[in-house]
């Protein structure tokens, strides 16, 4: 990114680069990201405003059960028929071993006839993706999601409210608050409101110099193999109970989120707070494939930077992350049931409180030497605990 000066000696060649000064846009984007991070940490109660408190903050509340040992992390609302991430956590001495639990759900008034799914907890962390179907034409409903330990007589539950009667593709036009596609240039198109349903019916591009903000509780439905490509800045401002969901519009997987910058701006200008990605990385096009597993990344970072706190990438045919010549900071993110946990080429990676499990699937079927949890090429990462990478 800068002017190079070469000096020749008989036995070597050295290249000394003087970095170019970042552009005004690059400096402003970093300031904006840092301000958002500082505000989020201060509101959450970490007076120091330091990133080391991010995971502690996320792990300090919401524990339930007889001995306050279990926790369910799931959106407070859902769209019937669409994918919904549910994360289960356990703390205490039992986290050193793997255990099974049942995740059960039932419609309001049908608690006596729940539907259950077996989930494995690895070092106290597990997850699943549900399709909760409220009955048609009866208005919003409440669904109870419960976690029952197989080994112990302990159970917790959380109530989730459906915001819409159905999410079936035949009725998609009715549930979309906004339909977007193409280049987003107008300021109105660059702010996606909270608790809204944004339908991406074709590939979206955010041009250089623009900032796309996505607010808490937003569900982004992306059509078959469409992408969201950001040349500018992406700020996703979800919360633990009102995360931002990126899920397929129909049964076919969507493409991926691409964060593309310039070398001098690769200092985490993009921010993902409590953002969940499901059913992504579905493109079979060769030019979309990255890495040695030859699959599309759900989140691609090239010559840019990303800070991600909470949320995660699950249940996707593609690899969760791919970064090249970038800076990626990840705090308390959850990766499961993807082709690869993440591949990082010549990139600075910081993982703290990471969960990378069940790659490529919960039964480890089809596992080969390409289904890595974390694949590194060129630089050493920083990994801090407690992390579970299996």
CA distance 211 to 230: 9
> What does the pLDDT read at residue 134?
53
> What does the pLDDT read at residue 155?
67
> What does the pLDDT read at residue 9?
31
Q: The pTM is what?
A: 0.82
Q: Name the DSSP letter for residue 65.
A: T
Structure tokens at 58: 């996320």
Name 215's Cβ contacts closer than 8 Å, sequence gap at least 6: 191, 192, 193, 194, 237, 244
Distance spanning both ends of the chain, measured CA to CA: 37
User: Residue 308: which of 9, 55, 121, 5 has the closest Cα?
Assistant: 55
- Contact between 212 and 190 under an 8 Å Cβ cutoff? The reply is yes
- Contact between 273 and 310 under an 8 Å Cβ cutoff? The reply is yes
CA distance 171 to 118: 31
Structure tokens at 113: 């006839």
> What does the pLDDT read at residue 166?
46
Number of Cβ atoms within 10 Å of the Cβ of 307: 23
- Contact between 143 and 162 under an 8 Å Cβ cutoff? The reply is yes
CA distance 157 to 142: 12
Peptide bond into 95 cis (omega under 30): no
- Contact between 324 and 279 under an 8 Å Cβ cutoff? The reply is no
> What does the pLDDT read at residue 118?
87
> What confidence tens digit (pLDDT) does each residue in 257-289 have?
999 987 544 455 799 999 999 999 998 888 888
Grouped pLDDT means (10 residues each) for the chain, 390 residues: 33 34 49 52 41 59 65 82 86 70 76 80 88 57 70 68 52 81 85 93 93 95 94 93 92 94 64 96 85 89 93 95 93 93 92 89 66 84 74
Q: Which helix (H) or strand (E) holds 35?
A: helix 24-43
Strand, coil or helix: 55? helix
Per-position DSSP letters for 112-131, written without gaps between them: TS-EEEEEEEBTTEEEEEEE
């Amino acid at each position: 990114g800068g002017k190079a000066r070469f000096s020749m000696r008989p036995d070597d060649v050295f290249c000394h680069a003087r970095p170019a000064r970042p552009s005004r846009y690059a400096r402003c984007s970093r300031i904006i990201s840092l301000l958002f991070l500082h505000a989020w940490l201060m509101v959450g109660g970490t007076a120091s405003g330091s990133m080391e408190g991010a995971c502690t903050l996320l792990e300090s509340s919401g524990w339930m059960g007889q001995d306050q040992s279990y926790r369910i992390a799931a959106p407070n609302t859902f769209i019937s028929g669409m994918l919904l991430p549910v994360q289960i956590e356990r703390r205490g001495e039992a986290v050193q071993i793997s255990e099974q639990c049942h995740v059960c759900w039932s419609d309001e008034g049908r608690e006596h006839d729940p539907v259950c799914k077996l989930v494995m907890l690895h070092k106290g962390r597990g997850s699943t993706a549900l399709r909760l179907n409220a009955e048609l034409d009866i208005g919003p409903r409440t669904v109870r999601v419960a976690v029952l330990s197989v080994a112990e007589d302990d159970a917790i539950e959380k109530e989730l409210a459906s915001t819409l009667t159905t999410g079936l593709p035949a009725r998609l036009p009715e549930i979309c608050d906004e339909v977007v596609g193409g280049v987003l240039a107008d300021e109105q198109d660059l702010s996606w409101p909270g608790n809204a349903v944004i339908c991406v019916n074709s590939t979206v591009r955010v041009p250089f110099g623009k900032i796309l903000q996505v607010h808490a509780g937003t569900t982004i439905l992306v059509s078959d193999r469409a992408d969201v490509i950001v040349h500018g800045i992406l700020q996703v401002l979800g919360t633990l109970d009102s995360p931002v969901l990126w899920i397929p519009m129909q049964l076919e997987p969507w493409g991926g989120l691409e964060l593309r910058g310039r070398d001098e701006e690769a200092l985490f200008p993009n921010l993902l707070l409590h953002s969940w990605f499901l059913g992504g990385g579905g493109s079979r096009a060769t030019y979309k494939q990255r890495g040695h597993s030859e699959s599309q990344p759900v989140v691609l970072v090239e010559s840019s930077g990303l800070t991600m706190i909470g949320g995660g990438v699950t249940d996707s045919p593609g690899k969760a992350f791919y970064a090249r010549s970038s800076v990626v900071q990840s705090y308390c993110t959850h990766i499961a049931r993807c082709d690869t946990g993440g591949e990082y080429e010549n990139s600075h990676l910081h993982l703290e409180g990471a969960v990378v499990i069940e790659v490529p699937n919960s039964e480890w079927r089809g596992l080969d030497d390409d289904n890595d949890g974390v694949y590194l090429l060129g630089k050493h990462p920083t990994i801090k605990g407690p992390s579970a990478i299996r």
